Amino acid sequence: MDHLLSIVLWLPLAGAIVLAFLPRSAETAIKSGGLILAVVTFIASLMILPQFRVGVAAFQLVEHCQWIPSWGISYFIGVDGISLWLVLLTTLLGPVVLLSSWNSIHKYVKEYVLAMLLLESAMVGSFMAMDLLLFYVFFELMLIPMYLIIGVWGGPNRIYAAIKFFIFTVSGSLLMLLAILYLVYLYYVQTGVLTFTISDLYNVHLAMNVEVWLFFAFALAFAIKVPLFPLHTWLPDAHVEAPTGGSIALAAVMLKVGTYGFLRFVLPLFPHASMHWSWLFAALSLIGIIYGALVAWVQPDMKKLVAYSSVSHLGFCILGIFAMNAAGVQGSLMQMINHGLSTGALFLLVGVIYDRRHTRLLSDFGGLSRSVPIYSTLLVIAVLSSVGLPGLNGFIGEFLVLVGAFRWNPLYGVIAAIGVILAAIYLLWLVQKVIFGPITHEENRTMKDIAWNELLAVIPLIIMMVWIGVRPEPFLQRMEPSVQQLLSTVTDRAGAPPPVSDSRGGVR
Amino acid sequence: MTLTPLLEPNWLQSILPEIILSCAGMLLILLDAFLPGARRAFAPVAIMAILIAGWSESFVVAGMYFGRTYQISPLTVLFDFIFLTATLLAVMYSYEYLQRQNVDGGEFYALILWAAVGMMMMAKGMDLLIVVLGLELLSICIFVLVGFNGRVTISNEASLKYFLMGAFATGFILYGTALFYGASGSTQLEQLGNFFSRAQPSDPTLTIAFVLLIAGFGFKLAVVPFHSWAPDVYQGAPTPVAAWLSVAPKAATLVALIRILNAMLPISTAARWTTIVAVLAVLSMVLGNFVAIAQRDLKRMLAYSGIAHVGYMMIALITLGPDSVAAVAVYAITYVLMNVGAFGVVSLLDKNQNDSQTLDDIAGLGFRRPFHGLALAIFMFSLSGLPPTAGFISKLYIFRVALSSGHTTVAIIAILTSIVSVYYYLRVVYFLYMKDSEDVPVQTIAGPMATGALAISIIGIFAIGIFPTPLFQVALRAANGLIGNH
Amino acid sequence: MLNSLGLIPLVPFIGFLLNGTIGQKAGKKFASVVALLASFTAALLATVAAVAYHGAHPAGEPAVNVVYTWFMAGGVGTDIAFQIDPLSVIMVLVVTWVGFLIHLYSVGYMAHEEGYARYFAYLNLFLAAMLILVLGSSYLFIFVGWEGVGLCSYLLIGYYYDKDFAANAGRKAFVVNRIGDFGFLIAMFLMFTHIGSVDFRQVAETVAGGGVSHGIVAAICLLLFLGACGKSAQIPLYVWLPDAMAGPTPVSALIHAATMVTAGVYLVVRSNVLFRSAPEAMLVVAVIGAATALFSATIAVAQNDIKKVLAYSTVSQLGFMFMAAGVGAFVAAIFHLVTHAFFKACLFLGSGSVIHAMGGEQDIRQMGGLKTKIPITYWTFAVATYAIAGLPLASGFFSKDELLASAMATPYFPAMGKVIWAVGTVAALLTAFYMYRLLYLVFFGKFRGTHEQEHHLHESPATMTVPLVILAALSAVGGLLGVPLILGGAVGVPHLLEHWLEAIFPDVAGIHPGVFEIPAGNEVMVMVGSTLMALIGWWVARTLYRNRGLESDERFGSRAPGLMTTLANKYYIDEYYDLLLVKPLTKLSVFFWRIVDAIIDGLLSLMGYVVAAAGDLMRFIQTGNVRNYALMLFGGVLVFIWVFV
Amino acid sequence: MILEYTVFFVFAAIAVIFGIVVIAHRNPVVSALSLVASLFSLAVMYILLEAPFIAALQVIVYAGAIMVLFLFVIMLLNLQKTIEPRTHPIQQFLGWTGSAAFAITITYYLAKGAVILILPSTPFEASARTIGISLFQAYLFPFEMVSILLLAAIVGALVLSQKLRPQVPLEGAEQR
Amino acid sequence: MIPTSWFLVLGAILFSIGVCGVLVRRNGIVMFMSIELMVNAVNLTFIAYARQLHSLHGLIFVFFIMAIAAAEAAVGLAIFIALFRHRDTIDVDEANLMHW
């Protein structure tokens, strides 16, 4: 099992290539094949856990080989406490996504399964990559299947949403690519070593103005991905139009790549700029928290509501990261996982009733608690997790982030805490409009309760919600050393004053 | 005075590819004349000739020939392969296309092979005379190939436009050459190089000559503002010809340009010639990408995208160095694979040549013809520079070169225009997969040849995209050979 | 037992799981058995734990039972740990036993409801959460219970979910509670930042040791009090409680009268060291408590819904408790908490019985003369009313007297204490008045309802009456827990509660002690005064309503229409909130969504359009005329020559 | 000396004037004939520049063969009577001013940079023989490749001007 | 002797006239003739420089240019014939099916 990570990484893709040779008419075989692959991948990823040494900050299960040696690019993957759980989250959601769309995808089933598997590989890869360019490759690779998923299997306005999604994300990432190259080039000039390995690049010395430019190039890419206010407008559209599985993958995992990027790249690579501009990101994330919550509140469309809630929740993640203290960063990581679970579940559940009624307008529902009690219970649990009820997962992350932010600047903590109030407002509004109140539409009276595949998809999420809510320590424990190390990297580097001028000072 | 030709040892085997292609062309003409019934076999003969020519590249000996006017080096071998690949792919697409349009004939293959000879001359010529001759041989063939389908009005119109513009541009090249000749006393690049190393950068005639020369080469490369023929000619030309035309002559011209710029290296910065190249690059990227958005005709769109891509390649030429030459070489190879592929898929559409192939024609193709749809999608992703395709690697190389030579602004413009380009490449994918076809969908027809060509392109794109190292090594070695001369 | 305190909340939690998953399928009998068994076991365990604790720690030091580390990141986090100390003992006993009684009552009351198992599941969950709240050993851990009870409250208020008002009320309760929780959260942030822990003991010790600046302590106190305001329905966050009456009546009794709403008081008392270190925060508590007491009493006067009257009465009584805590009489606060649990639970259950008899009718204008129809209910209701009114020797008499006397004698802010006392006394007068108004309107006079309702009238089943009787009895004698010195001293009855709780008020140098002496003179004066007030209230109510019934209200209505409608409409506070907070926020949100998002999108798509339009314009360079192309080429050459030569 | 100058100016004037006639006259036949005249005067210039072989080629190949080909095509297509419509005024204006500006610019810089360029008085050996010899020595390769070029041109001309095969009905494209 | 510059200037003027012809004439054949004029201007320049530099190379170059011009003429005129067949005119402004 020396190549466990590679197996987890490539299994979905390899499987997809095999499945591609099945005839298109063999839908069930393809679906089951995809599901089995996803489950096997998940099991494989679980085997990382026993091999993962607790209390070690460094990357583990590392695999390293040259890829493009002349440019210092290598196939360098590993997990540490920061990426471990994100990888597991991704692999967990693989089967969930496929299960959730078992019966809701009617056309081009084969292509759908292939796209999802490709997406899974790309997402896992971006969390495992320890080489900046490898990361970038996976980062971009994600876009293609997601573009297709939104554009082919999406709603009526899917083209607009898909293109918007793609253009937004690509705009950021291309600028980041330039910054990556420049960074590597500067490192090369300084040390004579051409490398894209992240941990090496942590040692680069940058003049302040250069650092700020590069910082913003990176930050822009990730801020779009997260998305951070005011770059969030692609998200509601993408979510509303995407099929359920796409929404889950998008919200639960893909957005995390943005927050992960901030943590893994932006902070340690550009500590001075990060610190210098942290106020900006605090402000944007705070605005996002409040803004997302308020806008979510007045949405008539359930998916949009959940989408805007993502804007709000991910604001917490960014806030925690820029707090640059252990509580904030660990909280942010927890919040990423939690958001993945709870928002994933919410999108899944919204998808369930969408499949039955082909509408997502809040006004078309109401009183579902009577006709679909199991569904309603699950929805309430997912909502409560998202609201941040102590005892469920959402609270842990939110609380840690808030304390972290508060320690950074009390004002930030206080404003962010308002978001907690607002979360209750809009999410309970959702619950009330959907499952409470009188039944206003006759179709809702005879609605079928949640189906086996949907139940099977959502149960793991619920279990994880409770588990993390009750016993988060194993998760935090494994994160802690890595987070501490990352933070000390940041503070050590920021502690040293930036070189006043550099041979290649400004960006021409 | 004896009439002993100025011949170096090994000269014959070193120009073996040219000889093989020239003779194969003549053979095809003869076959067409005397065995018109064997039409079906013309394309295979041409393919055989190309393969043999490729094989004969293993016999060439690096060195200077014909009185230091003809250089064989790893770079020329590499570019020979680019030309041969492009020609091979074009022939493979043409085989069925020409049959469908009912215009197949031996002349077509002969001309395309001779054009390859012309390109090789451009790539290898160390004397502007040879370069110009190669260019002219290439041009003559292109005039005919573009207008090959005499029945089709737009084919003829394209031919006319290309001819007039080409002749006009040739006038500029010649004038520029004349001025350089006047200043330096030679048209040999080595001697020009010697001259430039002691020339006055502020000499106005030199700049005028440079502008005239670059205008002529820029015409062939289709860089803004010398690009205007490209969309019309691509649209009117038989699609496989357009495919070939969009890559091969550009690659040949790039090598020639690299050589010329290399010779000018001593003064090009001081004379602000690098700025001219930069301006051309920027203009091409901006205009190409912007206008491509407004196109609905696939071939026109690809034409504008080609303008933009040449812009990207020009970035590397701003400051010449081994890395930038290698970057251009890599880009050229990649561009051959993906652009010929994209045109190739268009050529498979079951339409008459004079009907435009619009985006609507490929609506729903991705599910109607999965392989063709997927192929076109891959080409588009590669053209837009997304990993893990070759397009990504080559763009990366260009950006890297731009950054390490300090052209950050140009690089940023390149990035921004790439973002724009993503939009129209994606639109193709959107039509492929997300739009329902019209009542009578346009089908694609592909025989084994075209399918094989598509497969070559796809495999190449992923091979370069995922394992670029061997290509990098080859390209860098080739580039070092060239730049090392000075 | 002390090593497995976690069992106490665990048992009802298991009940919740059972009822929540299979209860609906397994039938009502199963559900009620599970629920009753769970609550009863919890009560028993609690009692055993209390006894064991007293045996093990007679001095009253807390016994802590750490289960595991919940989470800990960067010094932020806490253990899952239960703690029992004298205060917890009182709370846990009240919660479990009153809870059990109400479970019992519910079996009868909810017998015909559809979501029977769901109801009991929630009720058990509530019990579990409430027990975590009173047994937790750190602020962060009790926050779990704190939010948990809020959740149950939400679910149970919205029990009749297909009624819009119920769903709305539930949501309102949760959201308003969240606003309070906001304070609680920030208080914890401050603790983590400045104290480094949220453990009760550590926080108290650090504060007592002076390790934290005064301002921070005051801020923590005020923020905690904000949390308490939310949970315990104090101004300005009381608005949810009256609406919460949309839930089933036993829920109102358990959650919105006896237990959950007193959590705020518990929190303040639990944090007494902090509060005592920050007297200005205490003043705020006292003032808000007194104001709430008076304010909601005035509203209660004009309410016609039997449960609304009781709801405002609850708000008012909670105000009394905070008043007590605010003036430093923590024991009095707890004392009143306990007695209030008895008599208010009794009142609510009684009202439930009335509503049950009336077939769901809650409007007291439709009632009247029920005294004979449902005698047990009447008698228990009357006893509880007597107690809440503060008439002599019932439980309310002792507790209310003690807290009013403490206000008078407070060492923290003697002058303000008098004012607070005065306000409290007026509120006590109003309490007596509106409670007797209610009693007379419901049970005396003629029946004013429809004929059908009259026909339907019947006494409730035994599962309902038994708890009523028990609670009535407790209301009557509950005062014995805290007989004041001047009365009890003579006959040798000590102030049990004060004695029991002494240990939780550590003497800390530099701050006032947790228990202070009330001068006997004061005590007597207050006792006489408030008794007098209660009597006046009773007498006025009796004159106005005993025989004349609704006439008096109508007369008031015609004499002072403005006042009456204002009172009946609760000072239009909900409307003001709506106007000042909800509406603007909605508008703002819509503005954000429709305008700001549109602007952002517009700007970004504008960029796209500009690019596309530029492309579209540039396209026309391509005229199709080859001579134009030649001109372009030539022009390029010319421009380059001119620029670069 | 004087003679030389006279010849130069006379023939330069002829070249320029007929050049202008080429582009200004609206009858293509006149244009073609003027071009012949212009090319012929250039041949005179070549002689002045002591390149008689090139001058001969100029007369034979250019003024002779190529221009005859032009005239032939003009006649073949019956173009001698067609009167060309006016060009778009903007194009017209830009064409004239642009080329005038170009001429002025180039002339300015050439004159400025090359005042000292006086033809060397030493005789210039550029006979057919020397040119022929170097063609077969140093320029053998290009010389051979020209054959391919010409062959391609012949084949191309054949392909382009061959009689059209039966027309496939054109759709979309407007046919005049 | 006549200064070389004069020849060069004459070449420049002729070249410009050629350019002008390409730009202002609509008749394709005349445009092509203008291009021939440009090419001849270049030839003149080459020869003038060759004389100036005493270098045979310019003459050889001119020789090749003439070959090129001949080839171009052959193909170009064939194109015009084809154009005429399609449109009954050799007015290049009419050849604008493809644009934008």
End-to-end alpha carbon distance in chain A: 48
Average pLDDT, integer, range D76-80: 82
Assigned token pair, A41:
């991948």
Count contacts between C and D (CB, < 8 Å).
Answer: 23
Task: Name which of C148, C158, C592 is nearest A295 (Cβ-Cβ).
Answer: C592
Burial zone of C17 (CB within 10 Å; 0-12 exposed, 13-18 middle, 19+ buried): middle
Average pLDDT, integer, range C295-309: 86
- In chain C, residues with a C-beta closer than 8 Å to the C-beta of A427 are none
Mutate to test the interface with C, among D87, D92, D96, D102 (most CBs of C within 10 A): D102
Cβ neighbours of residue C228 closer than 8 Å, sequence gap 6 or more: C180, C234, C263, C264, C265, C267, C268, C322
Assigned token pair, A75:
């196939």
Question: Comparing A35-44, B1-10, C63-72, C114-123, which segment has the lowest mean pLDDT?
Answer: B1-10
Strand (E) or helix (H) holding C77: strand C76-84
pLDDT at residue C244 tops 70: yes
CB E10 within 8 A of CB D13: no
Q: What is the C-alpha separation between A341 and A464, in angstroms, rounded? A: 8
Cβ <8 Å between B399 and A177:
yes
Average pLDDT, integer, range C427-456: 84
DSSP output for B393-417: HHHHHHHHHHHHTT-HHHHHHHHHH
Q: Which residue of C has its CA nearest to D87?
A: C627
Give residue-wise pLDDT tens across range A239-259: 888 898 899 999 888 999 999
Q: Taken in order A419, A420, A423, A428, is the CA torsion positive or negative?
A: negative
Per DSSP, the three-state class of C199 is: strand
pLDDT at residue C567 tops 90: no
Burial zone of A65 (CB within 10 Å; 0-12 exposed, 13-18 middle, 19+ buried): exposed
State chain C's mean pLDDT as an integer. 86
- In chain B, residues with a C-beta closer than 8 Å to the C-beta of A140 are 386-387, 392
DSSP symbol at A57: -
Mutate to test the interface with A, among C80, C185, C577, C610 (most CBs of A within 10 A): C185
Can you give the pLDDT at residue B375? 93
Inform me whether the C-beta atom of residue B417 falls under 8 Å from chain C C-beta atoms. Answer: no
The confidence band for D120, taking pLDDT boundaries of 50, 70 and 90, is low
Inform me whether the C-beta atom of residue C600 falls under 8 Å from chain A C-beta atoms. Answer: yes
DSSP symbol at A61: E
pLDDT at residue D174 tops 60: no
Count CA atoms closer than 13 A to A381's CA, side-chain side. Answer: 25
Per DSSP, the three-state class of C416 is: helix
Neighbours of C502 (CB within 10 A): 18
Inform me whether the C-beta atom of residue C608 falls under 8 Å from chain B C-beta atoms. Answer: yes
Measured between alpha carbons, how far is residue C511 from residues A285, C190, C506 in Å? 42, 21, 10
Give residue-wise pLDDT tens across range C29-42: 888 888 889 999 99
Identify the residue with better confidence: A229 or B88.
B88
Inform me whether the C-beta atom of residue B357 falls under 8 Å from chain E C-beta atoms. Answer: no
DSSP symbol at B300: H
Task: Kindly tell me whether chain D and chain E come into contact, counting contact as 3+ Cβ pairs under 8 Å.
Answer: yes
Inform me whether the C-beta atom of residue D136 falls under 8 Å from chain E C-beta atoms. Answer: no
Task: Name which of D87, D95, D105 is nearest C641 (Cβ-Cβ).
Answer: D105
Can you give the pLDDT at residue C566? 79
Place of tokens 């045996």: C55
Inform me whether the C-beta atom of residue D78 falls under 8 Å from chain B C-beta atoms. Answer: no
Could you say which residues from 189 to 228 on chain C have a Cβ atom under 8 Å away from some Cβ of chain A? Answer: 189-190, 192-193
The confidence band for D164, taking pLDDT boundaries of 50, 70 and 90, is low
Count CA atoms closer than 13 A to A401's CA, side-chain side. Answer: 32
Cβ neighbours of residue C586 closer than 8 Å, sequence gap 6 or more: A297, A298
Place of tokens 């171009």: E72
Distance from CA of A331 to the nearest CA of B (A): 33
pLDDT at residue C182 tops 50: yes
Can you give the pLDDT at residue C640? 92
Burial zone of A107 (CB within 10 Å; 0-12 exposed, 13-18 middle, 19+ buried): exposed
Identify the residue with better confidence: A230 or B87.
B87
Inform me whether the C-beta atom of residue A141 falls under 8 Å from chain B C-beta atoms. Answer: yes
Question: Comparing A433-442, B402-411, C342-351, which segment has the lowest mean pLDDT?
Answer: A433-442
Give residue-wise pLDDT tens across range C582-621: 888 888 888 888 888 888 888 888 888 888 888 888 888 8
Q: Which residue of B has its CA nearest to D102?
A: B208
Place of tokens 């308003």: C176
Cβ <8 Å between E4 and D124:
no
Give residue-wise pLDDT tens across range B39-50: 888 999 999 999
Can you give the pLDDT at residue A214? 92
Spell out the SS3 assignment of A118-171.
Answer: HHHHHHHHHHHECEHHHHHHHHHHCHHHHHHHHHHHCCCCHHHHHHHHHHHHHH
Mutate to test the interface with B, among E20, E68, E81, E89 (most CBs of B within 10 A): E68
Measured between alpha carbons, how far is residue A123 from residues A93, A307, D137 in Å? 11, 20, 66
Count CA atoms closer than 13 A to A24's CA, side-chain side. Answer: 11
Task: Kindly tell me whether chain E and chain C come into contact, counting contact as 3+ Cβ pairs under 8 Å.
Answer: yes
Distance from CA of C645 to the nearest CA of E (A): 17
Q: Taken in order C321, C323, C329, C332, is the CA torsion positive or negative?
A: negative
CB B299 within 8 A of CB B235: yes
Give residue-wise pLDDT tens across range A299-332: 888 889 999 999 999 999 999 999 888 889 999 9
Pick from C623, B5, C119, C377: nearest CA to D137? B5
Can you give the pLDDT at residue A499? 46
Q: What is the C-alpha separation between B146 and B165, in angstroms, rounded? A: 13
Average pLDDT, integer, range B387-415: 90
Average pLDDT, integer, range E52-76: 90
Cβ <8 Å between B185 and E53:
yes
DSSP-assigned beta bridge partners for residue A68: A73
Place of tokens 């041009």: B139
Assigned token pair, C582:
């909800």
Give residue-wise pLDDT tens across range A81-117: 889 999 999 999 999 998 888 888 888 888 899 999 9
pLDDT at residue A502 tops 50: no
Inform me whether the C-beta atom of residue D75 falls under 8 Å from chain C C-beta atoms. Answer: no
At CA D171, angle to CA B343 and CA B108, rounded to 5?
45
DSSP-assigned beta bridge partners for residue B65: B70
Per DSSP, the three-state class of A104 is: coil
Can you give the pLDDT at residue D163? 66
Mutate to test the interface with E, among B139, B163, B191, B296 (most CBs of E within 10 A): B163
Inform me whether the C-beta atom of residue B59 falls under 8 Å from chain A C-beta atoms. Answer: no
pLDDT at residue C412 tops 50: yes
Average pLDDT, integer, range A11-21: 90
Q: Which residue of B has its CA nearest to D155?
A: B107
The confidence band for D170, taking pLDDT boundaries of 50, 70 and 90, is very low
The confidence band for A501, taking pLDDT boundaries of 50, 70 and 90, is very low
Give residue-wise pLDDT tens across range C494-504: 777 888 888 88
Question: Comparing A345-349, C200-204, D83-87, which segment has the lowest mean pLDDT?
Answer: D83-87
Task: Name which of D91, D101, D102 is nearest C628 (Cβ-Cβ).
Answer: D91
Q: What is the C-alpha separation between A198 and A218, in angstroms, rounded? A: 14
pLDDT at residue A505 tops 60: no
Can you give the pLDDT at residue B342? 93
Can you give the pLDDT at residue A118? 92
CB B406 within 8 A of CB B278: no
At CA A167, angle to CA B422 and CA B410, rounded to 5?
60
DSSP output for B430-485: HHHHHS---SSPPPB---HHHHHHHHHHHHHHHHHHH--HHHHHHHHHHHHHHHTT
Strand (E) or helix (H) holding B70: strand B70-72
Q: What is the C-alpha separation between A296 and A301, in angstroms, rounded? A: 9
Q: Which residue of D has its CA nearest to B28?
A: D155
Share of chain D above pLDDT 70, in %: 87
Q: What is the C-alpha separation between A217 and B412, in angstroms, rounded? A: 11
Q: Which residue of C has its CA nearest to E21?
A: C627
Average pLDDT, integer, range A276-294: 91
Torsional class of C219: left (φ above 0), alpha (ψ -120 to 50), beta (otherwise) = alpha
Give residue-wise pLDDT tens across range C43-56: 999 999 989 888 88
- In chain B, residues with a C-beta closer than 8 Å to the C-beta of A171 are 419
- In chain E, residues with a C-beta closer than 8 Å to the C-beta of C623 are 96, 99-100
Inform me whether the C-beta atom of residue B228 falls under 8 Å from chain C C-beta atoms. Answer: yes
CB B73 within 8 A of CB B478: yes
Could you say which residues from 583 to 622 on chain C have a Cβ atom under 8 Å away from some Cβ of chain E? Answer: 619-620, 622
Give residue-wise pLDDT tens across range C485-495: 777 766 767 77
Can you give the pLDDT at residue B170? 94
pLDDT at residue C548 tops 80: no
Q: What is the C-alpha separation between A43 and D135, in angstroms, rounded? A: 77
Inform me whether the C-beta atom of residue C643 falls under 8 Å from chain D C-beta atoms. Answer: no
Q: What is the C-alpha separation between C139 and C5, in angstroms, rounded? A: 17
Can you give the pLDDT at residue B35? 86
Could you say which residues from 66 to 125 on chain A have a Cβ atom under 8 Å away from some Cβ of chain B? Answer: 67-71, 108, 111
Q: What is the C-alpha separation between E94 and E48, in angstroms, rounded? A: 39
Assigned token pair, C15:
């009940």
Distance from CA of B417 to the nearest CA of A (A): 10
The confidence band for B113, taking pLDDT boundaries of 50, 70 and 90, is very high
Task: Name which of E22, E25, E93 is nearest C625 (Cβ-Cβ).
Answer: E93
Per DSSP, the three-state class of A500 is: coil
Give residue-wise pLDDT tens across range D94-111: 989 999 999 999 888 887
Buried b vs exposed e over A455-473: b needs ≥16 C-beta within 10 Å? bbbbebbbebbeebbbebb
Strand ranges, E, within C387-509? none
Task: Name which of B226, B275, B294 is nearest C636 (Cβ-Cβ).
Answer: B226
Burial zone of C416 (CB within 10 Å; 0-12 exposed, 13-18 middle, 19+ buried): middle
Q: Which residue of B has its CA nearest to E31?
A: B164
Average pLDDT, integer, range C116-141: 89
At CA C604, angle to CA C599 and CA C609, rounded to 5?
110
Count contacts between B and C (CB, < 8 Å).
Answer: 83
Cβ <8 Å between C148 and A390:
yes
